[in-house]
Amino acid sequence: MTNQDGRQRKVASRTAILMIGALLLLGACGGGDNVDSDSTEPDTPGSTTVPTSAPEPTTTPAADAPELDGTDWVLTEYVLPGGSITNPWPDTEITLRFDSGGKLTGSGGCNTYEAQYAVEGPYDPFESGIRDANDGQVIRIDSLVFTEIGCTPDRVMEQESEFFDLLPTAGRWLLISEGSFSLRTADGSLLLIAAPSP
């Protein structure tokens, strides 16, 4: 074998290695004469090329609703007809008790009352950030009835009337800090806050 033959074999060997490397590189990158990497048309009849897209967003399932029933609640704050928030008079106690059968009972500070209530849908706990209208769970309170005993002073009766007027406007309820809960309108406006009875 001459030097010329040896050189030709080395060149042919290097050329073959380079061609194999180029083919492997084209295959890895999806290149090739008959492949259009941006195409969404099928390459062959009966096959489908799916365009690349962002992954589907995942949603966190709503939390299980905590129990509203089984606790005696005492009103700590409520909203007056003008929109300001106040505390009940010191010499009165307004209570709420939700039972598992859908009945709400308690005292308005003078008269006893009862109503029907129902909760529905997922419970959206308030975590951190900005409170929104979807926090908590949907609640409906209706069929409110109460005794009609007159109490003095008049401010006790006025307070009770304001409390009774709030109940049917409730649209959502939400557990808040220190084990208290709030009733809110359907659009998230505060109606009242009650704490567990001591």
State the pTM of this model. Answer: 0.65
- Length of the chain, please? 198
* Cβ–Cβ under 8 Å, residues 94 and 106: yes
Chain-centre distance of CA 131, in angstroms?
Answer: 11
- pLDDT level of residue 179 (50, 70, 90 thresholds): confident
Q: What is the pLDDT of residues 106-121, one digit of tens each?
A: 999 999 999 999 999 8
pLDDT attached to residue 70: 86
Kind and range of the H or E run holding 6: helix 3-29
- Residue range 72-196 in CATH 2.40.128.270: yes
